[in-house]
Amino acid sequence: MQTLKTDTRKRILNVSKRLFLKKGFRETTTRDIAREAGINLSNLYHYFASKDELFCQLLKPATNTLEAMLNEHHGIKGVDILSMQEEGYVEATLEEYMDAIRKYRNLLKLLLFKSQGSSLEGYKEYYVEKATRLVLDWLRAMKTKHPEINTDVSGFFVHLNNVWMFTLLEEVLMHDLTEEEVRSVMSDYIQFEVIGWRKMIQI
């Protein structure tokens, strides 16, 4: 009996994940992937248009989540600047990061450490830039709403802030911290950030 389309596709993705993790995007050949997936090399191209597309598809869940977090967390969408004072907000944000790492630990590793040569190799920079722009826009909006707060924050500061976050993420992944350790480090980090943030905008 012929393997179901999804089976083969799934197998390719699983094998890819393993190989990309081991050797990185560039050093992993399509031949390796096909061989280990037990399929013909050309057949791989029935499922994915190119090696790059395969990589992007593989990372889709992780990048989707990151995009979502980008919009919601640094959220231009409705979160009021004053709500950052509430306890629950910090908790929620923490959980979001935790979830992402719990679910996509390996995909995030791929994205941050193993993507060179692929079209995702600049993802971190792209993400940080986008986040920075969103936050700055949001700050401007908040200024209109709450003219009393200080939103005179340099772009570079916001930028650096986002970079710290990614660096932390990278360290957590690189050193394979346990969930307990991650939680502890993350908690410190987010508190530090929120507090610093409040102070900065003087609310």
Q: Give the interface with a copy of itself as residue ranges (CB under 8 A).
A: 26, 116-117, 125, 156, 159-160, 163-164, 167-168, 171, 174-175, 177, 181, 185
CA distance 63 to 128: 13
Count CA within 13 A, CB hemisphere, residue 33. 34
User: CB of 37: closest distance to DNA in angstroms?
Assistant: 9
- Answer with the entry of a copy of itself, DNA, none that 70 interacts with (C-beta below 5 to 8 A by kind): none
Binds DNA (CB under 7 A): choice among 17, 18, 21, 41: 41
Q: Note whether 12 and 53 are within 8 A (CB).
A: no
Does the protein bind DNA through residue 150 (CB under 7 A)? no
x/- map, 99-118, DNA, by CB under 7 A: --------------------
User: If contact means CB under 5 to 8 A according to the sort of partner, which of a copy of itself, DNA, none does residue 159 touch?
Assistant: a copy of itself
Report the largest interatomic distance among the alpha carbons of the chain, rounded to a whole angstrom.
70
Kindly compute the dihedral angle of the four CA atoms of residues 156, 187, 200, 151, in this order, to the nearest 10 degrees.
Answer: 70
Site for DNA, residues 10 to 29, rule: CB under 7 A: 27-29
Q: Which of residues 42-101 bind DNA (CB under 7 A)?
A: 42-43, 45-46, 49-52
Q: Reduced to 3 states, what is the DSSP secondary structure of residue 29?
A: coil
Residues whose CB falls within 8 Å of the CB of residue 119, separated by 6 or more in sequence, listed in order: 52, 55, 56
Token pair 């179901």 in the structure block, residue: 4
- Please give the DSSP secondary-structure letter assigned to residue 85: G
Residue 116 is given by DSSP the state T
Closest CB 118 distance from a copy of itself, rounded Å: 12
Task: Give 93 or 162: the residue with its C-beta nearer to a copy of itself.
Answer: 162
| Residues binding DNA (CB under 7 A) | 1-6, 8, 27-31, 39-43, 45-46, 49-52
